[in-house]
Amino acid sequence: MAEALKILVVEPDEPRARMIMDGLAEAGNVDVTVLGTATGLARRMAEIAPDVVLIAMSNPSRDTLEALSVASGFNDRPVAMFVDQTDDATTRAAIEAGVSAYVVDGLHKDRIKPVLDAAIARFNMFAKLRTELAAAKTALAERKTIERAKGLLMTAKGISEDQAYAILRKTAMDQGRKVSEVAEALVTASDLLR
């Protein structure tokens, strides 16, 4: 069996780092190190001598890694942006998932592909979780605003909750807006009048 693939993950976000590590462990015989900050990245790279470095596209410290990959003589294991070693589809998938990888020169494609696929899957999963969390928060905020708007209408007009909601819904339909937007406008206006 081939020697374990040494992977360095540069990721300050702990939950995401853990997800990536789990995903990589499933990808086979790997030895993963996580670095939370890019401080001293050059030194750690020389110590660890990774075969693959994974870093989020959104991480500004990517430029530091980029510099190491073009510098000659920082150690004898230069890394290059993954594109040369993988196919276009994988490259696109990686970019879309927001992960970039630097791979030691000469490492065989067959050994990188499973690692990259696992990283891409985990980055996508994390992005999805975050989107879902954001959506849940928005939904909650909208519901609370609608509740407040209904309360305002009920007090002001002496009507029932159902009637208040019907007014909000009709106004929204007439104006081509969302119920939550009408509710938001009402709440804001009532705050100003207070």
Cα end-to-end distance, the chain, whole Å: 74
Residues 75 and 45 sit within 8 Å (Cβ to Cβ): yes
Buried residues in 21-52 as b, exposed as e (16+ CB within 10 A): bebbeebeebebebbeebeebeebbeebebbb
CA separation for the pair 93, 121 (Å, rounded): 9
Of 91 and 145, which CB lies nearer to other proteins in the complex structure? Answer: 91
Closest separation between CB of residue 139 and other proteins, Å?
24
Contact residues toward other proteins (CB under 8 A) are 39-40, 42, 57-73, 80-81, 83, 91-92, 95, 100
Of 2 and 89, which CB lies nearer to other proteins in the complex structure? Answer: 89
Closest separation between CB of residue 21 and other proteins, Å?
22
Of 112 and 146, which CB lies nearer to other proteins in the complex structure? Answer: 112
Closest separation between CB of residue 71 and other proteins, Å?
7
Closest separation between CB of residue 76 and other proteins, Å?
15
Q: What 3-state DSSP class applies to 98?
A: coil
